[in-house]
Structure 1
Amino acid sequence: MKFSIFFSLLNIAFVVLAHPEPEPELSATEVVKRELEARNREWKTRNCQAEIRAFTANRMAKRETKLEGRQAPSGTEFTAAAHVTGIPDSATCIVAPEVTEGPYYINNELVRQNLTETQGGTVIVLDIGVININTCQPISDAFVELWAGITTNYSFCYLIIHGLLANATGIYGGYSGATNAVKKETFGRGGYPTDSAGIVEMTTIYPGYYFGRTAHIHTMIHLNYTKNTDGTIKSSSGSMVHSGQFFFDETWNDKVYANSPYTLNKQPRTRNAQDGFIKEAQGNGYNSFASLGYLSGSSLSTGLLGYITVGVDPKADYAIGNQNFYGGTGL
């Protein structure tokens, strides 16, 4: 049985002015069911903590070895490798079914690892591991999708006037349930499968903030998926086993947002403590914060590297509620 984790958009003005991603309205029965699921997943994941920490440590160590093999310039240190000993709990993201996909998801996305295109901002490389919480083993060929808001690409006044919704990466031609909801812009969105070791590396731009939301990156994970004839993923195929959001420590947000083009964002900044979705993502023992470090040296100019491991139940199968579809370049 598929459990819907989406919500109805009740009023566009409310969505834009009150909160860009309203919380879903759930029946009492579904609330109880999800709470039980959440506790069960949290319990299972706790049993995998040793394996998950070793999984993350091995990834960090392998990356450090690769960098040493490249003979980095003298004085250059891979800062993130400092986390190899004493990995923080924030390196593990436990599946949280009640964290919504939001209204900005697009079905049938591009299959690619680099999502930056020509966007400005701080580059962030995400090393994402996917692990089976039933066996504590990595999952290969798990398709990991990401989408996020890029720096200053939000214009709520425009959206209200033209009856459109703010997208985390631009503007939709419609919203969930609308006909011919086609997306032209593709920056900041896409997905790629994990390798034989259960790992996928994806490059994007450090997300911006907007009214009601702190820095965050949406993620969705599919198993047993297929592709369309044009090479995009067929979102309705296989099973969707996770929809959630990654967050970042406020210290890193402060560092990134002190630089251009983030300083051009004129919207009031929403901090982690003010974002209600973090409370969802952190409930029941969940931890959705990526462990960050500089990609090299100690400057944002070289980019950031983030590690996070997502624990999923391969037996789960959630429904995608959004009806926005990628329409191809130039539509």
Structure 2
Amino acid sequence: MQLTSLTLAAISLAGVAVAHPGHDLSEEIAERRAFVNSVEKRSLDHCAEKIKARGLEARNLARRSAAVKNARAAKGLHKRDNDTWEESHNSTCSGYSEYTPIPELFAGNASCVLTPEVTQGPYYVGGEYVRENVAEDQDGVEIHLDYQVIDVETCEPVPHVYVEMWHCNSTGVYSGVVANGNGDSSDESNLDNTFLRGIQPTDRDGVAQFISTFPGHYTGRATHIHVMVHTNATLLANHTLGNEVYASHVGQAFFDQDLITEVEKVEPYASNTQDITLNADDSILLQETADVDPVMSYVYLGDSVEEGFFAWLAFGINTTYSGEVTPAAFLYESGGVENSDSGVGGPGRGAPGGVPSGVPSGVPSGVPSESTPTV
């Protein structure tokens, strides 16, 4: 990892920042610490041999290689010289470099990726769409995401559950929420926006994939993506899971500082006037790296960051646990509605009129009208 133990030890919690007005990170840190202390197995180290023996490691290699090949073909990019990949995140138990061969790179990470667990953050929206491509009309560096869910007790992949992800855009604004500190708080139309939010079911290997844009930064937090797993949910005809929100895992995924720095040189990231918080100064990341490794591994699709990249992370969940989550807002057929019980946001509007009926860009056709996932 790029955050050394010496660096982490030097960071004091006394200077905990308020990432958004009205949201105290110290409370989020305390909740996360209480959860981690209650979990017997915090990493996937104990699953390494079983993952390999069951053939999951080999399938990870094939899936990730195919995903990158397809992403490159769609963008008209060619293979890099000597069939090698660039991987900047030096995982906890490996030593990858830009010269690492594809098989070693893509097959060697399953045993050393650890379990991120935090709270959902202040800007979660209930009722979002099940779709793979969440970019909509947002400008930014394209990113293909590969999340793998593993049962920390059995070391088996967890199929037929739903992975939800959301993050801010290139200038640090979340869709679906109107609040001070989140873009133009007078623009109530943002309640209806759905960009950079989506849900996908896991396949037989516990994998859910998304296409998005690299997240930007906002004051008080390092660049990150929120991730949530729903183990008991029903896919409705309108491509949502409805508004009753329960989750067995809530986490945040991070990126290497070197990668963030390169992305921030590209427009429209470079025009973001909010203060940048480095990984080494992020209180939530500090808490994560004390126990786990929540930084995504990645490869460039081309020869520059502008051409996009593919990133992946495996994490463990307790499949027998499910807790209620408090969204900042809900997405209904009539539009977004602020959740008055969340304590976050500005003046809400609209009224619940059933879950969304409109289907935004990125929702695949032919999705079953109803499906009940089982663990």
TM-score (norm 2): 0.68
* 3-state SS of 1:144 partner: strand
Structure 1 contact 125–202 (Cα < 8 Å) conserved: yes
Q: Does the C-alpha gap of structure 1 residues 215 and 262 become closer, same or farther in structure 2, counting only changes over 3 Å?
A: same
Residue 47 of structure 1 corresponds to 46
CA distance in 2, matches of 1:281, 1:151: 24
Query: Which residue of the partner structure matches residue 22 of structure 1?
Result: 25
Residue 170 of structure 1 deviates from its aligned partner by 7.9
Question: C-alpha offsets along residues 50-74 of structure 1, whole Å, 9 cap, x if unaligned?
Answer: 4457745632334325739979746
Residue equivalent to 1:186: 194
Map of 1:99-248 to 2, 5 A cutoff?
A: 99-154=118-173, 164-167=179-182, 183-236=191-244, 239-248=246-255
Match of 1:288 in 2: 294
Q: In structure 1, the residue corresponding to 2:327 is in which secondary structure?
A: coil
CA contact (8 A) 2:266 2:306 kept: no
Q: How many residue pairs align between the two structures?
A: 296
Q: How much does 1:141 deviate? A: 1.2
Query: Do the aligned residues in 2 keep the contact of 1:127 with 1:308 (CA within 8 Å)?
Result: yes
Bigger drift between 317-326 and 111-120 goes to: 317-326
Q: Is the 8 A contact 2:288 2:294 kept in 1?
A: yes
Equivalence for 1:265: 272
- C-alpha distance in 2 between matches for 1:93 and 1:170: 37
Q: Closer, same or farther in 2 for the Cα pair 1:257/1:128, shift >3 Å?
A: same
Q: Which amino acid aligns with 1:275?
A: D
SS in 2 for 1:279: helix
Would you tell me which structure has more strand in proportion to its own residues? 1
Percentage identity across paired residues of the two chains: 27
Q: Name which of 309, 313, 319 aligns with 1:308.
A: 313
Q: What SS does structure 1 have at the residue aligned with 2:250?
A: strand
Asked if 2 retains the 8 angstrom alpha-carbon contact of 1:182 and 1:325, the reply is no
Task: Tell me if the contact between 1:139 and 1:198 (Cα under 8 Å) persists in the aligned partners.
Answer: yes
Report the secondary structure of 2:198's partner residue: strand
Match of 1:92 in 2: 113
SS at match of 2:208: strand
- 1:236: Cα distance to partner? 2.3
Aligned-CA RMSD value:
3.6
Shift of 1:21: 5.6
Query: Do the aligned partners of 1:41 and 1:94 also contact (CA within 8 Å) in 2?
Result: no
Distance 2:190 2:240 in 1: 15
Greater Cα shift, 70-79 or 261-270 = 70-79
Q: Secondary structure at the match of 2:104?
A: coil
Alignment-mate amino acid for residue 305 of structure 1: F
The equivalent position to 2:325 in structure 1, one of 320, 323, 328, is 320
Distance 1:47 1:84, change over 3 A: same
List runs of 5+ in structure 1 lacking aligned partners.
1-13, 175-180
Q: Which has the higher relative contact order, 1 or 2, with Cα contacts under 8 A spaced 6 or more apart?
A: 1
